[in-house]
Chain A
């Protein structure tokens, strides 16, 4: 079960602004999904190693050699608002 306040908090963390309708819907849908997911909470998994990755790989290294990277104009070509060879973004502080 997830409450409305939690939905709003999580949306803030995820940088999503949800409409009133979306918030209502999210409360219902996420609660339903979590109810199913919560079943794993009842399993006794004390001492079981968590798996983050299935292929056993350790320290994959390559020689530290300089290589050309994307040219600046190519990297900026898809930016919504490139300016003076940089990515332009709004100010972090409200005007």
Chain B
């Protein structure tokens, strides 16, 4: 058998079920690996030890998992990457984590993230940035940067994260792994600390498409605690498709914009690979998608400004300025507790919702959202999938974009339209490219989007393409 840590989560699961692998030994090996975190990827780890695990799991028969620190875990620190929740131990466990525990997956730890999931580089964490395992001078992407880095860096077999405008797919691309944002409503959001409630969705970050399918199968389903959750009808099976014959892949004309040539080369090669596998490439039109960033950066901050009103220093989290009156206490707590990006988005969202501007910003953005969703419906009448690069560049340097919020936002150019339409999209590693300005080669992600609740079809196609690409580069192969 392969080295324990080289097994995919699916292989490990099959070996455990078949009695060829002792779950305790496998989990212990991963706990030891996680303890070697030099990437600042974990905010908290379950040490296990004699007193048992801090988060109890009845039986372990599924690979242990790293969980983004945005999911509540009863009695265990949950910070969402923010100072305002430092030391917070929630009184309940999120549905996603509960389902993992019930399936038999021990929790390895909670992963670092941009504060309240607002960011594309992990540099907005109150606990310091996560480092990219391919090159520690670069960002892992965000906001689920910790979850992507632990999987790519050999600190966890798989992980869960959340995606509001690209926060699973973009870090998966930057770290050379698979990241899936399911259809809005596929997985319960109960206990997932809210950023933008009409967009937030939980999803897997894994080494392989098969692992993503296994994990999605565990997580998906209706939950009475989240009235917007519906689950995936028929569940999720392991993908097995070998070619792409009979499938049409649409390349949006409007998203052929300006992006790095290295990324473009890998994208074009992947389109050829699709044709080699029997798939067909067609051009599709998504005329409103170029306004995705504008609509998203109105809608998401607007919802965030409302969701984050709960951090008021009264019921949980930190309090500052308690000697003043109530409003002074609110203002001091929030000003000291939130970081710069969170304040910026609260300001942006409050402005967009304020009297006199509501229709011009929020109302208009919601209409653009309708148009974007209609564009996809139109495209899917002609093609099975829409494909784009996941991000316009490979992982950029730490500090490179922190002074320019707009250029950071534009990183989400390819991922935001799918979020606004609520449809599923996966990023798979498609190859390596040199960053603009030179340097060692870094992973490039290829994004495939499908109609709402067509996850099975999406995973089947992604699996066939993954086998065809045969991406097997790893951090440290003389690259980082």
Contact of A41 with B360 at beta-carbon distance under 8 Å, contacts A6-B351, A13-B350, A50-B369 already known: yes
Contact of A91 with B364 at beta-carbon distance under 8 Å, contacts A36-B293, A37-B298, A50-B369 already known: no
State which of B293, B334, B360, B370 has its C-beta within 8 Å of the C-beta of A49: B370
Contacts of B228 in A (CB 8 A): 53, 55, 57, 60
Contacts of B335 in A (CB 8 A): 16-18
Binary per-residue interface labels of chain B (321-358) against chain A in the complex, 1 for a CB within 8 Å, 0 otherwise: 01111111111101100101001101110110010000
A-B contact count (CB 8 A): 166
State which of B330, B332, B367 has its C-beta within 8 Å of the C-beta of A45: B367
State which of B198, B315, B332, B351 has its C-beta within 8 Å of the C-beta of A2: B351
Asked whether any CB of chain A lies closer than 8 Å to the CB of B138, the reply is: no
Binary per-residue interface labels of chain B (88-112) against chain A in the complex, 1 for a CB within 8 Å, 0 otherwise: 1111100000000000000000000
Q: Are B316 and A78 in contact (CB under 8 A)?
A: yes
CB distance from B366 to the nearest CB of A (A): 3
Q: Are B331 and A15 in contact (CB under 8 A)?
A: yes
Q: How far does the alpha carbon of A16 sit from the alpha carbon of B406 in the complex, in Å?
A: 22
Q: How far does the alpha carbon of A92 sit from the alpha carbon of B170 in the complex, in Å?
A: 44
Q: Are A92 and B327 in contact (CB under 8 A)?
A: yes
Chain B residue at minimal CB-CB distance from A62: B224
Q: How large is the interface on B (under 10, 10 to 19, 20 to 34, 35 or more residues)?
A: 35 or more
Q: How far does the alpha carbon of A49 sit from the alpha carbon of B373 in the complex, in Å?
A: 12
Q: Are A55 and B422 in contact (CB under 8 A)?
A: yes
Contacts of A37 in B (CB 8 A): 294, 297-298, 361
Asked whether any CB of chain A lies closer than 8 Å to the CB of B227, the reply is: yes
CB distance from A43 to the nearest CB of B (A): 7
The residue among A29, A36, A51, A57 with the most chain B CB atoms within 10 A of its own CB is A51
Q: Are A78 and B90 in contact (CB under 8 A)?
A: yes
Asked whether any CB of chain A lies closer than 8 Å to the CB of B312, the reply is: yes
CB distance from B466 to the nearest CB of A (A): 28
Interface residues of A in 50-81 (CB under 8 A from B): 50-55, 57, 60, 62, 70, 74-75, 77-81
Interface size, chain A (Cβ < 8 Å): 54
Contact of A40 with B365 at beta-carbon distance under 8 Å, contacts A48-B371, A78-B316 already known: yes
Q: Are B291 and A10 in contact (CB under 8 A)?
A: no
Interface residues of A in 5-31 (CB under 8 A from B): 6-7, 9-11, 13-18, 22, 26, 29-30
Q: Are A40 and B364 in contact (CB under 8 A)?
A: yes
Contacts of B340 in A (CB 8 A): 22
Asked whether any CB of chain A lies closer than 8 Å to the CB of B65, the reply is: no
Asked whether any CB of chain A lies closer than 8 Å to the CB of B295, the reply is: yes
Contacts of B90 in A (CB 8 A): 78
Chain B residue at minimal CB-CB distance from A57: B228
State which of A13, A52, A81 has its C-beta within 8 Å of the C-beta of B354: A13
State which of A17, A18, A91 has its C-beta within 8 Å of the C-beta of B326: A91
Q: How far does the alpha carbon of A12 sit from the alpha carbon of B298 in the complex, in Å?
A: 19
**Does more than half of chain B's interface fall in helix, strand or loop, or is it mixed?**
helix
Contact of A90 with B363 at beta-carbon distance under 8 Å, contacts A29-B344, A30-B351, A48-B371 already known: no
The residue among A6, A48, A80 with the most chain B CB atoms within 10 A of its own CB is A80
Q: Are A54 and B325 in contact (CB under 8 A)?
A: no
State which of A10, A17, A38, A91 has its C-beta within 8 Å of the C-beta of B347: A10
Chain B residue at minimal CB-CB distance from A17: B331
Q: Are B327 and A15 in contact (CB under 8 A)?
A: yes
Q: Are A81 and B350 in contact (CB under 8 A)?
A: no
Chain A residue at minimal CB-CB distance from B229: A55
CB distance from B325 to the nearest CB of A (A): 4
Contacts of B329 in A (CB 8 A): 89-90
Q: Are B421 and A54 in contact (CB under 8 A)?
A: yes
CB distance from B397 to the nearest CB of A (A): 21
Contact of A94 with B91 at beta-carbon distance under 8 Å, contacts A33-B409, A36-B406, A49-B370 already known: no
Q: How far does the alpha carbon of A7 sit from the alpha carbon of B325 in the complex, in Å?
A: 23
Asked whether any CB of chain A lies closer than 8 Å to the CB of B426, the reply is: no
Contacts of A84 in B (CB 8 A): none
CB distance from A36 to the nearest CB of B (A): 6
Asked whether any CB of chain A lies closer than 8 Å to the CB of B133, the reply is: no
Q: Are A87 and B184 in contact (CB under 8 A)?
A: no
Q: How far does the alpha carbon of A91 sit from the alpha carbon of B34 in the complex, in Å?
A: 47
Chain A residue at minimal CB-CB distance from B89: A78
Asked whether any CB of chain A lies closer than 8 Å to the CB of B319, the reply is: yes
State which of B92, B354, B367 has its C-beta within 8 Å of the C-beta of A10: B354
CB distance from A75 to the nearest CB of B (A): 7
Q: How far does the alpha carbon of A55 sit from the alpha carbon of B291 in the complex, in Å?
A: 21
Q: How far does the alpha carbon of A55 sit from the alpha carbon of B227 in the complex, in Å?
A: 11
Q: How far does the alpha carbon of A51 sit from the alpha carbon of B420 in the complex, in Å?
A: 9
Q: How far does the alpha carbon of A92 sit from the alpha carbon of B354 in the complex, in Å?
A: 24
Q: How far does the alpha carbon of A4 sit from the alpha carbon of B322 in the complex, in Å?
A: 28
Q: Are A55 and B185 in contact (CB under 8 A)?
A: yes
CB distance from B178 to the nearest CB of A (A): 24
CB distance from B68 to the nearest CB of A (A): 20
Binary per-residue interface labels of chain B (226-267) against chain A in the complex, 1 for a CB within 8 Å, 0 otherwise: 011010000000000000000000000000000000000000
Taking A26-B347, A50-B363 as given, write out 11 further A-B residue pairs in contact, using a Cβ cutoff of 8 Å, ordered by the A residue number: A10-B347, A10-B350, A30-B347, A36-B297, A54-B452, A55-B422, A57-B227, A75-B91, A78-B317, A89-B314, A90-B328
Can you list 10 contacts pairing A with B, beta carbon distance less than 8 Å? A40-B291, A50-B369, A52-B366, A54-B421, A60-B228, A78-B88, A80-B314, A90-B328, A90-B329, A91-B326
